[in-house]
Amino acid sequence: MTSKPFSCALAVRDYECDMQGVVNNAVYQNYLEHARHEFLKSRGLDFAQLTAQGIIVVVIRAEIDYRASLRSGDEFEVSVEPFMASAVRLAFRQQIRKRDGGLVMLDATIVTTAVNGRGRPYFPSELQCLLPH
């Protein structure tokens, strides 16, 4: 049985749109990151606190498939589904869907790793709570 992915509701702000009146492609990465940070909070973790503890989590790959464009005022949901991509890589399947009708606007896979004091990748035990049980 699979559980429902974490989801974060957002809305497009005017200043996020380009001259064509659609959300600028780079802004979607902000939406994805915001949802991942909210996901961490939902699991009792805080990104800033992790960093202060020396747990440095970095994005090492972003694969994004743009399906359709969001426009100013559109309301949407960003889903977050974590999985282990390797022994030291935590990845997130993410999707952006419009709230009215559920049209998929974007599919993404974001791969992260934590780096230790020597800059070497590792998977800290503090992140174990992010994985499905």
pLDDT, tens digit, for every residue of 35-78?
999 999 999 999 999 999 999 999 999 999 999 999 999 999 99
Under 8 Å between Cβ of 36 and 29: no
10 in any annotated domain: yes
The predicted pLDDT at position 4 comes to 79
pTM of structure: 0.93
Provide the H-helix boundaries in 11-133.
27-42, 47-52
1 in any annotated domain: no
Under 8 Å between Cβ of 70 and 12: yes
CB atoms inside a 10 Å sphere around CB 30:
13
Q: Of the candidates 25, 37, 117, which has an alpha carbon nearest to the alpha carbon of residue 66?
A: 25
Give the residue numbers annotated as catalytic, written as ranges. 18
In total, how many domains does the chain have? Answer: 1
pLDDT, tens digit, for every residue of 73-106?
999 999 999 999 999 999 999 999 999 989 999 9
> Domain range holding 10?
6-130
pLDDT of residue 1 exceeding 60:
no
Strand 104-115 vs strand 56-66: parallel, antiparallel, or unpaired? antiparallel
pLDDT, tens digit, for every residue of 19-40?
999 999 999 999 999 999 999 9
